[in-house]
Amino acid sequence: MNNDYLLMKVSVQRSHVENVETAMLNCGAMSCTYQDATDTPIHEPAPGTTPLWPDVVVTGVFDKNANKELVTSLLTHQMEEFGATEISSEMLTDKDWERAWMDDFKPVEITSRLWIVPTFCEPPNPAAINISLDPGLAFGSGTHPTTHLCLQWLAKIDVKNKTVIDYGCGSGILAVAAVLLGAANVYAFDIEPQALLATAENAERNGVLEKVTICHSDRDLPAKVDIVVANILMAPLLELQARFCDLLSEEGQIGVSGVLSEQVGSLAAAYATQFRHSETEIREQWAMYTAIKQEVIST
């Protein structure tokens, strides 16, 4: 079956994205997608929002038999009032998309003894600890610098026979890694129900579900655990500082990431009242802050 399509791409400012999409649909587009036009990252969106980049490429997918010249003419006429900077077209040819997708992803070495291996790949090092996880998951597959930092930290510290909380578990990759590295029990919590489902599925895939407790509420988390790891964002990390202190036993270890390197100073200052800083690791523009809970002596 030939599934070729005509793609029409329009570069436009964020404020006109919906107008461009409507124009494309009116010209016969079957669907539209958005892309960042200038590689402008969105690091910390507000909860419940779906932000767009300042400059966006809107791509309309048309039937291969669509009249490209006519569509281009109609779009050009309508785009003038929206300040579109460029209109281009290309053919999307039929191919084995599943195979092409798989070819783009390879096993990821976290440390010499810890790897993330897509389910369709053979482990490069069968003797290592290999986390079986498919890439491209909405809740994290280990390729993002913050996830990489958290995995490296878990592999470096002593988690053997420890109790761990994965706060904001996403795909559950950190929970799975903790068990495979020797943790006795891991409690995984996230506010997103789909994340909890993903965590359970990945724990089962890796044969560690019996040691991972899925927590649907923060209230389900146990008190006084040995380790807390949280790969979330700056704002909730600041809000949760006291909560993390309550969850940890004395001398318990915490590792938090999801913050930019320029934010880590403010994070460290907020945590200094109840935690003794261990180290800060930087990967690309992202940081991970690790510390040990210390007793606060009242005066």
User: Which pLDDT does position 195 carry in this prediction?
Assistant: 87
Percent of the chain with pLDDT over 70: 85
Evaluated on CA atoms 258, 162, 248, 47, the torsion sign reads: positive
pLDDT band at 238 (very low <50, low <70, confident <90, very high): very high
Residue 1, pLDDT > 50, answer no
pLDDT digits (tens, 9 = 90+) for 25-40: 988 899 888 887 665 5
User: Which pLDDT does position 94 carry in this prediction?
Assistant: 67
> Tokens 């909730």 identify what position?
236
Tell me what the mean pLDDT of segment 48-75 comes to. 82
Task: Report the range of poorest mean pLDDT among 47-51, 169-173, 260-264.
Answer: 47-51
> Tokens 């020797």 identify what position?
182
pLDDT band at 299 (very low <50, low <70, confident <90, very high): very low
> Tokens 């070819």 identify what position?
103
Terminus-to-terminus CA distance in the chain, angstroms? 77
Evaluated on CA atoms 41, 47, 50, 55, the torsion sign reads: negative
Residue 209, pLDDT > 60, answer yes
CATH code given to domain 145-293? 3.40.50.150
pLDDT band at 45 (very low <50, low <70, confident <90, very high): low
The structural domains of the chain, with segments of one domain joined by +, span: 5-94, 145-293
Q: Does domain 5-94 have CATH number 3.30.420.40?
A: no
Q: Tokens for 202, please give them.
A: 């990945």
Alpha-carbon gap, residue 244 to 261, rounded angstroms: 21
More confident site: 144 or 48: 144
Residue 123, pLDDT > 60, answer yes
Tell me what the mean pLDDT of segment 128-136 comes to. 83
User: Which pLDDT does position 2 carry in this prediction?
Assistant: 57
- Pairing relationship of beta strands 286-293 and 86-92 according to DSSP bridges: unpaired
Residue 228, pLDDT > 90, answer yes
* pTM for the predicted model, two decimal places: 0.71
Which among 170, 174, 162, 203 is positioned nearest to 189, based on CA atoms? 170
Tell me what the mean pLDDT of segment 98-111 comes to. 74
Q: Tokens for 121, please give them.
A: 């790949």
Which among 277, 254, 255 is positioned nearest to 265, based on CA atoms? 277
DSSP string, 64-100: TTS-HHHHHHHHHHHHGGGT--EEEEEEE----HHHH
Residue 107, pLDDT > 60, answer yes
pLDDT digits (tens, 9 = 90+) for 140-162: 566 788 999 999 999 999 999 99
Percent of the chain with pLDDT over 90: 52
